Amino acid sequence: MTLLDDRGVFDAGTGPMLGDNPVRPFDALPQRSSARAAPDADTLERARRLHSQWGIESPQKVALLGILLARLAEVPFEDAAELLDVRPARLEKLMHGEEQIPSRIAKRWMVIAEALEDLQAVLKPRATARWLRTSIPALEGRTPLDSIKRGRLAEVRALTASYCDEAFS
Amino acid sequence: MTVLTQVRFPPVLSLLSQAGVTGFQAALRHDYPTLLPPERTANVALTDTAVGVEASAPVWRLTTEQRDWTVGLAVDFVSLETKAYAGIDKFLARLAAVLKALRATVRPADSLRIGLRKVNAIRSPDSVDTRSLIGRVREEMLGVLAVERFPAPILGAFSQLVFEDGLNRLVIRYGANTPAEGELEFIIDSDYFTDQPYTVDADDSMLGLLRHFSEGTTSFFHWALEDAYKNSLGPRPRGEQRASDDAPR
């Protein structure tokens, strides 16, 4: 309950002035700025249908994607999509729950999430975008983004793990 | 004063579940560490033969430790609300962080509606007599509340004023309210909004629009008060008491 709803001044719909007045002398009030959800029935039905199609792992995969995207908040969206090995338009669908996240991708994402966790333990999140595009000798001069695209995720993971070892040595 | 901004966008199905909010929450956890239980509304479906109640969309709410700032996220909007408003600059700085997190983790389509709402409550010195608001609120705003004689006391009265500002609208709802027995207050509830589409991001276009909305609502609020009362509320050194302890809330 928020704002005047707390005070009981207005109801959620038309307000006491119009709601109690059978003559209704004015047009309905415009929609208010509020903190109440009002999705239409079609949206809820579509969500129910999609959720019923998904497997039981879906919430974990959706949460994993969310955590990854939070860690990639400072990274351009196109780079994030490239890192996650999906096209930007598809990534948007996955983010919106319009498409199921394949288990194959989720396994890969888990490793990327671990690498980002290691990385951000030693680097500020805003440095992630630059790090992804920095040529690194331990990756044979390739950038981490390029290495991951070439399927050398294990090498990148080992690299970020070594950052943590060095930080604590 | 309570201030709220809401940005509505086309529904994002993943936000119906807690898993879909995980990234947004992770991005804001530092400033809003508490995730409150979701608030749910119920849709009541009436047919010729039955009355059914179906669950509706949850509103996920994140708050600061002091619970004075609340971020709301639902399937079709994000909101930021505070009862600790201390100027539009601080408000927009917090909103920018929320929009940035939303952009990164949810990436909704262009906005359907952007609104800024400010609610001021001016307490009346007399808990029954609405005329005691004279001298605080302009008489044009008080209307019948300023009339000397009615056969019975006025318990409440609300009016609505709608201004057009290009593609934006400013709706002001104002009048007397009795929040509790023995209390009387005058509410000025300003809601400035647009239905024009904007990219949902922490960029200058949306934040600039909200600054414009804030200036408009403040301007009206200042006009609605009598000068002497307004001056008594003016800025003063920290720690110094206001002329009255019943300043607008």
Is residue B191 within 8 Å of B170, Cβ to Cβ?
Answer: yes
Question: Which residue of A lies nearest to B177 if distances are taken between CA atoms?
Answer: A9
Report d(CA B133, CA B161) in Å as an integer: 20
- Strands (E) across chain B are located at 2-8, 34-46, 51-63, 69-74, 77-82, 113-123, 157-165, 168-177, 185-194
Looking at residues A20-39, what average pLDDT do you find?
Answer: 57
Interface contact B160, partner A, CB < 8 A = yes
Whether A7 shows a pLDDT value over 90: the answer reads no
Which of the residues B22, B168, B169, B199 would you substitute to probe the A interface, choosing the one with the greatest number of A C-beta atoms within 10 Å? B22
- What does pLDDT average to over chain B? 87
Is residue B123 within 8 Å of B249, Cβ to Cβ?
Answer: yes
Q: Judged by CB atoms within 8 Å, which residues 187-246 of B form the interface with A?
A: 187, 189, 191, 193
Confidence band (pLDDT; 50, 70, 90) for A14? very low
Q: pLDDT per residue over B74-121, tens digit each?
A: 999 999 999 999 999 999 999 999 999 999 999 999 999 999 999 999
Which of B6, B158, B187 lies at the smallest CB-CB distance from A17? Answer: B158
Question: Which residue of B lies nearest to A58 if distances are taken between CA atoms?
Answer: B19
Judge: B22–A66 Cβ closer than 8 Å, yes or no: yes
Report d(CA B143, CA A117) in Å as an integer: 62
In angstroms, the separation between the Cα of residue B20 and the nearest Cα of chain A is 6
User: Can you give the pLDDT at residue A138?
Assistant: 94
Whether B235 shows a pLDDT value over 80: the answer reads no
Report d(CA A111, CA B122) in Å as an integer: 56
Min mean pLDDT across A33-42, A68-77, B4-13 is at A33-42
User: Can you give the pLDDT at residue A104?
Assistant: 87
Report d(CA A15, CA B171) in Å as an integer: 14
User: Can you give the pLDDT at residue A41?
Assistant: 72
Judge: B56–A39 Cβ closer than 8 Å, yes or no: yes
Query: What residues of B are in contact with residue A126 (Cβ under 8 Å)?
Result: none
The number of helix segments (H) and strand segments (E) in chain B equals 5, 9
- A5 vs A140, residue with greater confidence: A140
Q: What share of chain B is helix, strand, coil (3-state, %, to 5)?
A: 30, 35, 35
pLDDT above 70 coverage of chain B, percent: 87
Whether A23 shows a pLDDT value over 70: the answer reads no
- B233 vs B241, residue with greater confidence: B233
Confidence band (pLDDT; 50, 70, 90) for B125? confident
pTM, to two decimals: 0.83
Which of B119, B177, B193 lies at the smallest CB-CB distance from A3? Answer: B119
Confidence band (pLDDT; 50, 70, 90) for A13? very low
Q: pLDDT per residue over B59-85, tens digit each?
A: 999 999 999 999 999 999 999 999 999
Q: pLDDT per residue over B160-210, tens digit each?
A: 999 999 999 999 999 998 888 778 899 999 999 999 999 999 999 999 999
